[in-house]
């Protein structure tokens, strides 16, 4: 069975008042989405409710920077529950910053195994050096933030971190069009910030 067929069968199809069909899982009450018009740089946020009602709003340009700041704050702090210590928290946030600077918005949190408590840096180093993850994590704990940042700047390490993130996004069903849209959104705010 294809993933698309499986997804459609496991979710309930609801026809929205505007004619679109939106799929909801059993306990899901709302589906959130956004649309970025590249021609006008306008952003529309849409909330589809499981009863077929839709609410949408155009993002007010006067609130655009505040919304971007809120989004960045949320994205950066989304990895904090994975941290075992303040040093781990700093390392995880540094990794998210590097991903954001590379134009990657989605930060997937692996679950269910030792990788759940490993930073993207540790996972990349374990993969590149073919060493056990536990050994890499021990080595990283003995390093300063400056040393860890230097490791992140090594081209093949940075590439491995980004590649792992892209693989996670593909596994989670995030398609390239969504990733391109996210990069476009990021570039919109980067241009505004550069003009300050």
CA 132 to chain CA centroid, Å, is 26
- For the stretch 18-31, pLDDT in tens is 899 999 988 899 99
Do the Cβ atoms of 131 and 189 come closer than 8 Å? no
Task: Please check whether residues 82 and 14 belong to one and the same domain.
Answer: no
Task: Please check whether residues 124 and 162 belong to one and the same domain.
Answer: yes
Task: Please check whether residues 166 and 82 belong to one and the same domain.
Answer: yes
Answer whether residue 38 shows pLDDT above 80.
yes
Q: Whole-angstrom Cα distance, residue 126 to residue 137?
A: 9
Residue 149: which pLDDT band, with cuts at 50, 70 and 90? confident
pLDDT of residue 3: 46
Enter the pTM of the model.
Answer: 0.49
Task: Please check whether residues 29 and 71 belong to one and the same domain.
Answer: no
Q: Give the number of domains in the chain.
A: 2
Task: Please check whether residues 72 and 160 belong to one and the same domain.
Answer: yes
Average pLDDT value for residue range 37-53: 92
Answer whether residue 120 shows pLDDT above 70.
yes
Task: Please check whether residues 25 and 95 belong to one and the same domain.
Answer: no
- For the stretch 157-169, pLDDT in tens is 888 888 877 776 6
Task: Please check whether residues 44 and 95 belong to one and the same domain.
Answer: no
CA distances from 75 to 23, 82, 89, 94 (A): 25, 13, 13, 12
Instruction: Tell me what the pLDDT averaged over the chain comes to.
Output: 79
């Amino acid at each position: 069975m294809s993933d698309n067929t499986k997804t459609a069968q496991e979710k309930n199809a609801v026809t929205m008042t505007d004619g679109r069909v939106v799929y909801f899982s059993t306990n899901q009450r709302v589906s959130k989405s956004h649309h970025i018009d590249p021609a006008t740089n306008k952003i529309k946020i849409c909330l589809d409710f499981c009863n077929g009602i839709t609410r949408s709003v155009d993002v007010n340009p006067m609130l655009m920077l505040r919304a971007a700041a809120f989004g960045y704050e949320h994205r950066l702090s989304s990895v904090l529950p994975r941290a075992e210590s303040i040093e781990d928290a700093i390392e995880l946030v540094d990794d998210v910053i590097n991903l954001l600077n590379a134009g990657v918005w989605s930060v997937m949190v692996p679950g269910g195994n030792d990788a759940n408590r490993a930073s993207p840096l540790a996972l990349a180093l374990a993969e590149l050096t073919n060493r056990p993850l536990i050994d890499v994590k021990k080595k990283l704990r003995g390093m300063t933030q400056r040393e860890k940042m230097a490791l992140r700047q090594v081209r093949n390490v940075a590439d491995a971190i980004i590649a792992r993130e892209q693989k996670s996004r593909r596994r989670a069903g995030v398609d390239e069009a969504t990733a391109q849209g996210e990069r476009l959104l990021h570039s919109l705010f980067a241009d505004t910030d550069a003009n300050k």
